[in-house]
Structure 1
Amino acid sequence: MEGLELISFNIISNVGSAKSMVMESMQKSRLGDFESAEKLIEEANKYLLIGEKEHFKVITQEAKEKNVELTILFMHAEDQLMSTVTLRDIANEVLENYKMMYDLKKIIEGKCQ
C-alpha cells in the first residue's frame, strides 16, 4: 500500500482513534468527570493533528502537481476527518455545558440545605 491509499488509511486510523476519545469524553462529561473528559479531548487533538497533516500532504501535492486523482477511499477519509473535528468542537461545548450544570446544581443544593 502506498500513495493516496496509505494516506487515506492513515487519516482514517488516526481520526477513528480521535473520534472514540471524543465520544468517551462526552460520556465522562455527563458523569461529571471533567478532568478525564478534558484529557481525552487533548489526546484526541493529537490524533486529529496527525490526520490533518496527512490530509495536508494531498493538498500540497495537488497544489504543486495538479494531478491528484481522488478516490472514494480518500473522500471517506476526508469525511471522517471533518466530522470528527466537528464532533470534537461539540464535545468541548458539551463539556462546558455540563460544568455549568454541575456548578448550578451545587448552588441549588447549597441553598436548599
Structure 2
Amino acid sequence: MENMEVIMGIIMNAGDAKSSAVEAIQAAKNGEFEKAEELLQHASSALVGAHRSQTSLLTKAAQGDKVEITIYMVHAQDHLMTTIAFNDLAKELVDLYKKLA
C-alpha cells in the first residue's frame, strides 16, 4: 500500500477532470461557450496531474523497483483511461454545440 498516495492522486485528478468535462458539455449546451472552454482547460490540467502521478509509478517500475498491482491501481488506471476518452468526446461535443449555435 506504499503507492496509495500516488494511486489516489490518479483517481482524484481523473475524477476532477471528468467532472469538469461534464460541466463543459452542460455549459456548451446552454450556450456558455467561454465557460465551457475554461472547464475543458481545467479538465486538461487535471489530466496532466493524473498523468504525473501515473508516470511516477511507471518510472519506479522502469528503475527495477517492484510495483505491486492492486485493485486500487487497476481502478485508478481504468478511471484515468475512461476519463481521457470522455474528455476527448467532451471537446467534440463543445465544438458541435458551437457549430449548432
* TM-score clears 0.5: yes
| Bin for the TM-score computed over the shorter chain | over 0.9
- Per the alignment, residue 91 of structure 2 pairs with 92
- Would you say how many aligned residue pairs link Structure 1 and Structure 2? 101
Gapped regions of structure 1 (runs ≥ 5) = 103-113
- Shift >6 Å, 4+ stretches: none
For 1:45-64, list aligned pairs within 5 A.
Answer: 45-64=44-63
Q: Percent identity?
A: 34
Counting only pairs closer than 5 Å after superposition, residues 61-76 of structure 1 correspond to structure 2 as: 61-65=60-64, 67-76=66-75
Q: Structure 2 matches for 1:1-113, cutoff 5 A?
A: 3-65=2-64, 67-102=66-101
Question: In 2, Cα distance between the equivalents of 1:74 and 1:83?
Answer: 14
Partners of 1:61 and 1:32 in 2: CA distance: 45
Structure (1/2) with the larger helix percentage: 1
TM-score, normalised via structure 1 length: 0.84
Measure the CA separation in 1 of the matches of 2:95 and 2:13: 25
